[in-house]
């Protein structure tokens, strides 16, 4: 077992002037499950391959435990990688696939058999050990690929989108199995996905990358509650956080016909940048519905508080419903998503009046995108 450290690790592909991974700094704890997530092309696989030794490191360093592995060949790093396409040998049985790396390493037959059988038991593969990969389901193949990594008892597991070939239901099941297995084995794991739900449900911590740059590394809870910038705010959470540019007023921000209080520090730092607006973020579950007739809390005595959202589509999920609507905020038509009670959803075409719940508002600088609120 071991820690993993990316120390300002940079990769610039030949012929490119822009780093694919730009001074990546992450310290991963012993036994931790760290998920790298971000949109296509943000540098997730490159980061993982740098740790595996499959990609050169052009700047900075990578350490596993106290060992500087920056320029070590893959075989000397004591890691095992699980790829998206599993890369099983089609002509070998499951048992031979799982034991292959040990055989190459010269481990004796009895010991290989023992390790393969142990791993097969953990992975529920015992009855398939004599089969060829083509006679297995996608999920079983995926588990063989895991088994091949487990038998090597590496210091670090690396996984690059290992579930993306599975259908939606199996992906959810296997996600839980992998996370559970990792916790039992306690092996430090770096896991790559572009799926933020996978990241949030599996990781002890999640690292969000964009354009080769680390945006935030945090626990799923903190990532959701305190996104560090507009990018993370919009990327983490489904449906996504509502992000709207609004004018700054005395003591807060003007959200339709309401003033929503915002900390003085947030407003001061916006003003220091010369901004006259901030971008506020409200999660769909953090809007309160207000009475359309009353004007309590409204800036205008003829109009209800908050903003009026015209309901375009209602998504009913049983317990919850999501209203997809449009509203005029800050002089612009904006798409707004509001979570409502699943048993009491509004009709299409109707109008809801909503205000952000106090204390649940995220405030970002419109110019730099950085988080201004606590
Ligand atoms: N061998 C290569 N040569 C040159 N550029 C590359 C190479 N591999 C990747 N890149 C570029 O580096 C950037 C990061 O690629 P990378 O494969 O790490 O992205 P990713 O986050 O894994 O994306 P995806 O979710 O699509 O797998 C991209 O802009 C990509 O085009
Ligand atoms: Mg990739």
Mean pLDDT of 365-370: 94
Question: 102 CA distance to ligand 2 centroid (A)?
Answer: 27
pLDDT at 183 over 80: yes
Domains 4-232 and 239-365 share a fold: no
Residue 123 predicted with pLDDT over 60: yes
How far, rounded to the nearest angstrom, does the alpha carbon of residue 219 sit from its chain's CA centroid? Answer: 10
User: With bands split at pLDDT 50, 70 and 90, how would you rate the model's confidence at 122?
Assistant: confident
Q: State which ligand 1 atom lies nearest to the alpha carbon of 38.
A: 21
Ligand nearest to the CA of 19: 1
Of the ranges 31-45, 120-134, 144-158, 316-330, the best mean pLDDT one: 31-45
Atom of ligand 1 nearest to the CA of 45: 22
65 Cα: distance to centroid of ligand 2 (angstroms): 25
Q: Check whether 171 has a pLDDT greater than 90.
A: no
| Nearest ligand, CA 209 | 1
Identify the top-confidence range among 228-242, 251-265, 355-369: 228-242
SS3 content of the chain, % helix, strand, coil (to 5): 30, 35, 40
Dist. CA 160 → ligand 2 center (Å):
7
The CATH architecture assigned to 239-365 reads: Beta Barrel (2.40)
pLDDT band at 87 (very low <50, low <70, confident <90, very high): confident
Please state which of the ranges 74-88, 236-250, 293-307, 355-369 shows the lowest mean pLDDT: 293-307
Ligand nearest to the CA of 211: 1
Confidence of residue 296 (pLDDT cuts 50, 70, 90): low
Residue 301: pLDDT over 70 = no
Ligand 1 atom showing the smallest separation from residue 11 Cα: 12
Q: Sketch the domain layout of the chain as residue ranges.
A: 4-232, 239-365
Whole-number Å distance, alpha carbon 210 to ligand 1 midpoint, is 12
Spell out which residues have Cβ within 5 A of ligand 2, the ion.
Answer: 45
**Angle at the Cα of 240 from the Cα atoms of 238 and 244, rounded to 5 degrees:** 165
Give the H/E segment covering residue 201: helix 196-202
The top-scoring range by mean pLDDT among 14-18, 135-139, 257-261 is: 14-18
Dump pLDDT digits (tens) for 10-46: 999 999 999 999 999 999 999 999 999 999 999 999 9
Q: Are the C-beta atoms of 69 and 49 separated by less than 8 Å?
A: no
Which of 9, 13, 17, 52 has most ligand 1 atoms within 8 Å of its beta carbon, as the pocket-test mutant? 13
- Protein residue whose Cα sits closest to atom 11 of ligand 1: 20
User: For 229, which DSSP code?
Assistant: B
Sequence-ordered list of residues with C-beta below 8 angstroms from that of 15, at least 6 positions apart, any chain: none
Of 361, 126, 153, residue with least CA distance to 261: 361
Architecture of the domain made up of 4-232: 3-Layer(aba) Sandwich (3.40)
Q: Is 149 exposed, middle or buried (0-12, 13-18, 19+ CB in 10 A)?
A: buried
Check whether 298 has a pLDDT greater than 80.
no
Residue 36 pairs in a beta bridge with 192, 207
Q: Cβ neighbours of residue 369 under 8 Å, at least 6 residues apart?
A: 229, 230, 231, 279
Look up tokens 């006259």; give the residue.
276
Name the percent of the chain lying above pLDDT 70.
97
**For ligand 1, which residues put their CB under 6 angstroms from it?**
13, 16, 20, 38, 40-46, 194
CA distance 203 to 351: 39
Q: How far is the CA of 32 from the centre of ligand 2 (A)?
A: 21
pLDDT of 109 over the 90 cut: yes
For the question of whether the overall pTM of this predicted structure is more than 0.95, the answer is no
Measured from the alpha carbon of residue 208, the closest ligand is 1
pLDDT for the residue numbered 314 = 96
């Amino acid at each position: 077992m071991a820690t993993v450290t990316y120390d300002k690790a940079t990769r610039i592909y030949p012929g490119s002037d822009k780093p694919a991974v730009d001074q990546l700094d992450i310290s991963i704890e012993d036994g931790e499950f760290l998920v790298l997530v971000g949109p296509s092309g943000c540098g997730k696989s490159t980061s993982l391959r740098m740790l595996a030794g499959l990609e050169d490191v052009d700047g900075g360093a990578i350490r596993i435990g106290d060992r500087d592995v920056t320029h070590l060949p893959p075989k000397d790093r004591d890691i095992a990688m699980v790829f998206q396409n599993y890369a099983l040998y089609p002509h070998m049985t499951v048992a031979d696939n799982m034991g292959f790396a040990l055989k190459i390493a010269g481990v004796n037959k009895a010991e290989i058999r023992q390790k393969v059988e142990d791993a097969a038991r953990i992975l529920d593969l015992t009855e398939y050990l004599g089969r060829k990969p083509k006679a297995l389901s996608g999920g079983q193949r995926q588990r063989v690929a895991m088994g091949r990594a487990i038998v090597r008892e590496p210091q670090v597991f690396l996984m690059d989108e290992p579930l993306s070939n599975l259908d939606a239901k199996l992906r959810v099941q296997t996600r839980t199995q992998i996370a559970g297995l990792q916790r039992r084995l306690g092996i430090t794991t770096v896991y790559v996905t572009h799926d933020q739900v996978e990241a949030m449900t599996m990781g002890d911590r999640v690292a969000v990358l964009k354009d080769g740059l680390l945006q935030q590394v945090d626990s799923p809870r903190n990532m959701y509650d305190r996104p560090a910038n507009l990018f993370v705010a919009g990327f983490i959470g489904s449906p996504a956080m509502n992000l709207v540019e609004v004018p700054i007023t005395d003591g807060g921000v003007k959200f339709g016909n309401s003033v929503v209080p915002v900390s003085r520090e947030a407003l001061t730092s916006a003003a220091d940048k010369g901004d006259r607006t901030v971008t506020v973020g409200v999660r769909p579950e953090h809007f309160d519905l207000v009475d359309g007739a009353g004007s309590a809390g409204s800036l205008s005595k003829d109009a209800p508080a908050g903003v009026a959202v015209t309901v375009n589509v209602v998504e009913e999920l049983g317990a919850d419903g999501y209203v997809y609507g449009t509203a005029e905020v800050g002089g612009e038509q904006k798409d707004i998503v509001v979570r409502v009670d699943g048993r009491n959803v509004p009709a299409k075409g109707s109008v809801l009046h909503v205000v952000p719940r106090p204390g649940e508002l995220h405030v970002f600088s419109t110019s730099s995108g950085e988080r201004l609120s606590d």
